[in-house]
Every structure is written in structure tokens, then in C-alpha cells.
Chains A and B, each alone.
Chain A
């Protein structure tokens, strides 16, 4: 199989939403000595871009989008050690810490956003649910993140998004990191009120927003 054929199959595995196949193709690429960066840029990334297009045009739905993202993640995880060994770096759009705020154990919204961001070229650290302001700050510092995503599903826990922003200020990190907020009760107005940098209504919107925020920085 030529490299071109391999790349086409990689893209197809992502479009088909097949994490096992994507992983197997990534391994095959390593065995064949294909440059892992090329595998990502010319194989898997065109696939995830196609998934995004199909979603935007209404042919694909959220499950297709998410499983495409999972397939992307599985492939990149296989290729990453080789990238490191070759001292190559995947072009990263930004480093993101994401989680659900304290008192709130809703998982799915932020996981979806994390998957989408990771599939679209961001390096993502998902810090989970019920995360305290202090833990968010520590994670931002530790990762050197330039983006922070705060999720809240309840009107009561939404208030803790403001607390995290205040904690960032206190730690002197507010200027280094752009803050995105989201979740069912969250509105554009609320984002402005608490001094967040952006708000998106859904996972697809969050990718556009994240790209826009890192471009501003």
C-alpha cells in the first residue's frame, strides 16, 4: 500500500467513526516508518475535517462527530511517542484545561467539548467534574494552558464559574489564559457579566470560539 492509500484509509477510518481501525492504521504507519506527523496532517486530520463538514451540512449527527473525535484521539495516542522520539511536534492550536465546576457532576457537555477541541488540534487536559477553583488554577499553571473551559449545568453551580475567574486573577494568571464558559443555563450575557472571554452554545461552536480566542492572544 502506498502512503497515499494509507492516508486515504486513515481519513476514512475517522469519517466512518472507527477508533479500532484508526488505531490499527496508526500502528501500521509506524511499522512502515511513515513520518507520524505526516500521518496526522495528511491522513487523520483531513478525516476529522470532513466529519466537521458533514456535521455542518446536516448529514452527520452528534454521535458521528464524537466517535470521529474518539477515533482521532486513539490514532494520535499511538503516534505521539514516536513524535516525541523524533523530537517532532504536532502543530498545536492551543493548550486547554477543561472541567465542570465545583458542586456540579455533569460530565457529558464538557467531555464533548474536550473531544471536539482535541480532534481539532488542541492539546486538552480534561480535569473532570466537581473541580474546585484552586484545582483549576493549579492545572492551568502546571500545563501552561492558554485556554480554560468551565462547564456548569445548573443555575446554582454556574455561580462557581465566577469564582474560578477570581481565583485566576488572584494567582496572577488571568492575563495568560482565555476563559470560555458553557452549559445549559449559561448565556452570552452571563459570560460578559463574570468577565469570561467567550461563550459558545454547543461543542461545535466551542471549537470556533477556541480558535478565535487563541488567534486574539
Chain B
């Protein structure tokens, strides 16, 4: 059975991208604001310009790192099941991350999310079967900025059993977040053996690493917590205007990340990811719904799969929209992006629920996107050709009577062959649709949000783990000027 797949680049083009990226590591090299990373690179044979903080990394140093990085690994849910497979062409989806705004149903103006919003989001994401992992999607405005990253993870660990894609905003908070994960996993060893969380690490375009992200990357490697590289050239602004030129930059940035990471601890899991965009030359914005953005994503995923035999696990921010409310633009951009990501075989596609250049979240959009994801997953499952004969037997059995509906064959196959959507997708007769209230997709989505949230089952966390998570978070809050954690209702 053929798995439908799209590759944007010819093999020779992939080879040229990779060859130029290795050359960029040497000249102009990579600027790194982390003494520890520069030391690791120097020990491995890179030339370091201490004044400029630039590492000139020989290709063979980077190649060795790529070799030691694993081609695949699993993420586990709270029950210990391997539910996300990074590697090969497996495609999984998580919501977009770190929205600083939320737009409510029926509103056009967005607002700052708070604790109650994050909890409602988690209950929803837990209940949507199409969503494979959750994300720390909402940045809560009711806690100090200096703890917003760890507070997001605190709520995820309390409410979500699915694995999580997250990230730290500072060097110190990474350690606190790691302690939270250890509290849930039981020990550092257990956490490394059965990872439940992935941390984003974002280089700054072009070819720069800040101290925070670099240190996060090194810490992830040392503790065996999977790291996700999020390289983000903006074609025409912070990266070359040619789409393939931005893919070269992305490749070089990811190679530098893999090198630092693997030097810190060879064999630690790392993901070839990103969030590039085509720069909008009128508005000066970074459209995540632009077809060119998606083309860069698909091409870099192809490069990641080709960087060594077996490839590296891949990630992309796709399936998002730049619309400000849930409307037709949302559907078309997220629909195209999600289907293309699936066809490109991106292992983890982040973005469901996200509007406005990765900054604003909508619960209604999340449930609509879940349906798009369901359809995209169906698409890449391909067409089952395992029956022999394909149709002769059943066609002859039914003959000209024409009623396949009553055959056992139909009953046996229909639910395997068809993705069956929720009521968000309208397939009713017009009269039935009118009788149900003549609702548009957004209204139906709103209804489904409330229904799914109402079915939420509490995560079976032992009381002492909850206590420990609360204690870790409260200590961090008190050190940052907050006496008490916000009420969780």
C-alpha cells in the first residue's frame, strides 16, 4: 500500500543545500553567546574567535554529531504508553505553542489568557483524539512574566496525560521545569528512559545562538530530555529571499544546534524542526499561512530526512493561520498547511488552534483543526489495496440490485475506510441542518468545545506528586514576587 508523499526538492538540490550548509558552519561560522558551548566546540576542533564569539565549525565535527544523533525515539503518555513516534514518515500533531492572546467565541478583539483559559484548553486538547500531544499553548497573564514558562508546564502536568511540547524562557526556569518533569516521571533516569516532554530551542536568524537557548539545548542533552530545534529564517528579512536559500540557512542553523547538543551528550534525542516564514513585503509580517512558508517547511523536513541514512526526526509549525478570528482564511490556510505537512511526513506538526502569526489562540479553531488533522491523517494512510480480489467478489455478490449498504462487506470496511468527523463538519441534509439551528462551522465548533471540555476525566496523579508540583511552582512564584498561585477554580 502506497503512503502518499510529496517531496519538493530533487535529490541533487537536497545535496547542494546540505553541502552549502556545512560550508556556512565554517565561513562565516556561527555566533554563540554561551561560553560552555564555545568550549565544547573548541574541544571538538572548531576554531573560536573569542572577541566575536564566533565558532568556525569544520564539516567533519558537525558530521560526527549528526551521526551520533538518533534517527527515532518515542514520547510517552502518563500511563507509560509510547504514543508519539519521532522518526520515519510518521505524522503527529500538537497545538501551537505560547500564545500571548486568546480570542473568545463571538468576539473580534483578543485578550490576555489566564489560568482558567489554560485549564480549559488542556481539558479540550486531552479530549480531542486527533491531537497526539499537548503543548504549553497559552501564556497566562495572571502570573509574573519570569515564571510564565514554568507555570504553563505546571498546568500541563496537572491536567494532561498526553505528552507535551514545551520550552523554557530562561536558563534558571529550565532547571525548575526539569524538576517538575522528574516529579511526575519518578526519577531523572525514568524521565530519560521514557520522555514525556520535548523542549524547543530556537537559534536566532541568521546563524546565532543566544545564551538562554544554547544553555537549554545543552541541559536537554545532558538530562536526555528531547530537544526540538526551531530555526526560523524569514525569507527576505533575516534569511535569503530565495526559498531554497532560506532552507540552506535553516540547515546550517540546525546543524550547529545538533553539533552543540551532541557534543554535550552524544546519543541524546534531538529534532530537526523550525518555524521559518516568507516575509510579507507589504505588511512586514511573518505569515505562517503563506504557501511559501509551507514550501520552506516541507523542503527542510526533506533535508532533515536526508541528512544521514535514516534521517533525523522532524518537526514543523504548520497548519496555522494569520487570520485574526476564525473565518474562511483560517480554514483554507490551516487546511492547506495540515495536508501538506502530512504529505511531507513531518513527525510532529505544531500549530492547531493558532491564529495571528503564532500569537493568538482559539479553542474553536482547535476543534476545527482537529477535523482537518483527522482528514490529513486519513489521506496519508493511503488506499488499502489488501483485499484480493479488490471488488470482483462483492460486486458479483450484490449484482444489479445495487444495495451495498446491507452487506457485511460494507459493515466490515466503512469505518476503516472513512474518517468519521464530529458534528463540527456539516454533512446533514439542508432541512436537518435548519432543524438543528442553522449553525455555521464556528458555532458548531463552539458547541463541541463545551461538549468535549465537559467530558474531561481528571488525570490520575498521586496526591504527593500534585503536592510536589505545587511546592516547586509556589517556590518559584515566591522568588518572583507572587505570594500565592492563582486559583485553579
Contact = CB atoms under 8 A, between A and B. Distances in A.
Interface in A39-88: 61-64, 66-67, 69-70
A49 B420 CA distance: 24
B386 interface: no
Given A63-B414, A64-B411, A67-B411, A201 B405 contact: no
Chain B interface residue number, banded: 10 to 19
A63 B417 CA distance: 13
A17 B411 contact: yes
A112 B408 CA distance: 15
Q: Chain A contact residues: over half helix, strand or loop, or mixed? A: helix
Contact of A112 (B405, B407, B414, B431): B405
A75 B75 CA distance: 51
Contacts of B410: 63
Given A67-B408, A107-B403, A111-B403, A61 B432 contact: no
Given A67-B406, A201-B429, A107 B401 contact: yes
B106 interface: no
Interface in B378-418: 401-403, 405-408, 410-411, 414-415
Nearest to A200: B431
Given A17-B411, A63-B411, A108 B429 contact: no
A4 interface: no
A62 B406 CA distance: 9
Contacts of B407: 67
A64 B408 CA distance: 9
Interface residues of A, number: 18
Nearest to B435: A201
Contacts of B431: 187-188, 201
B455 to A, nearest CB: 13
Nearest to A202: B429
A115 interface: yes
B403 A62 contact: no
Nearest to B433: A201
Contact of A66 (B405, B415, B429, B432): B405
Nearest to A201: B429
Contacts, number: 38
Contacts of B401: 107
Interface string B403-447: 101111011001100001000000001011000000000000000
Contacts of B406: 63, 66-67, 69-70, 111, 115
A111 B407 CA distance: 13
B429 A61 contact: no
Contacts of A187: 431
A63 B420 CA distance: 14
Contacts of A69: 406
B290 to A, nearest CB: 38
Nearest to A205: B432
Nearest to A64: B411
A111 B404 CA distance: 11
A173 B408 CA distance: 40
A108 B411 contact: no
Contacts of B414: 61, 63
B408 A201 contact: no
A61 B429 CA distance: 16
A195 to B, nearest CB: 19
Nearest to B418: A61
Contacts of B415: 61
A69 B406 CA distance: 9
Interface in A80-119: 107-108, 111-112, 115
B318 to A, nearest CB: 31
Contacts of B411: 17, 63-64, 67
A23 to B, nearest CB: 14
Nearest to B432: A201
Nearest to B414: A63
A188 B431 CA distance: 8
Contacts of B402: 107-108
B28 to A, nearest CB: 60
A44 to B, nearest CB: 17
A175 to B, nearest CB: 28
A64 B406 CA distance: 8
A187 B434 CA distance: 13
B422 to A, nearest CB: 9
A63 B405 contact: yes
A64 B413 CA distance: 12
A69 B432 CA distance: 23
13 contacts: A17-B408, A17-B411, A61-B414, A61-B415, A63-B414, A64-B411, A67-B407, A67-B408, A107-B401, A112-B403, A115-B406, A201-B431, A202-B429
Given A70-B406, A111-B406, 5 more contacts: A63-B410, A66-B405, A108-B403, A112-B403, A112-B405
- The 3 closest A-B CB pairs, nearest first, are A63-B411, A201-B429, A66-B406
